[in-house]
Amino acid sequence: MIAENNDIDLKVDEDIFNCLNPNSLKSFFLFAGAGSGKTRTLVNVLTNFKEIYGQDYKLLNRKIGIITYTNAAADEITHRLSYNSIFEVSTIHSFCWELIKNFTLDIKNWVKIDIEKSIEDLEDKL
């Protein structure tokens, strides 16, 4: 792994890389101030992961999910990872949408029933 700034960066890169060990996967949350190198660190770690495990992940059709807050960040990470198919980069909103999109009819029906009940309750109070 390459740390461009110092030994602290190297330690952070190693800690994050260890979270991605396929035999003991762990989620992690990477946060720091603007311009501190979050994207650089993430891309360094994921590039190293790709070099070691990428071929296996492609053969097994497995992916690593990367969730960020903005479309701009998701686009930048995707670009820096060379649009590699083992990485699924998305915003928190698009990630959640992928989870619920097949339930839209159920959600609409629930919302409709809930609104109708709320209207009935309000009418009863009049």
Nearest C-alpha neighbor of 2 from the set 34, 37, 30? 37
pTM, full prediction:
0.72
Tell me, yes or no, whether 2 lies in a domain: no
Is 5 in contact with 18 (CB distance < 8 Å)?
no
For 3-61, what is each residue's pLDDT tens digit? 455 677 788 888 889 888 888 888 888 888 888 888 998 999 999 999 999 999 999 99
What does the pLDDT look like over 72-124, one tens digit per residue?
999 999 999 999 999 999 999 999 999 999 999 999 999 999 999 999 999 99
Domain containing 21 equals 7-125
Output the pLDDT for position 3.
46
Number of domains making up the chain: 1
Query: Does 84 fall in a domain?
Result: yes
Q: Does any domain span residue 1? A: no
| b (16+ CB within 10 A) / e for 21-51 | eeeeeeeeebeeeeeebbebbbbbbbbbbbe
Query: In whole angstroms, what is the distance from residue 110 CA to residue 87 CA?
Result: 34
The pLDDT value recorded for residue 91 is 97
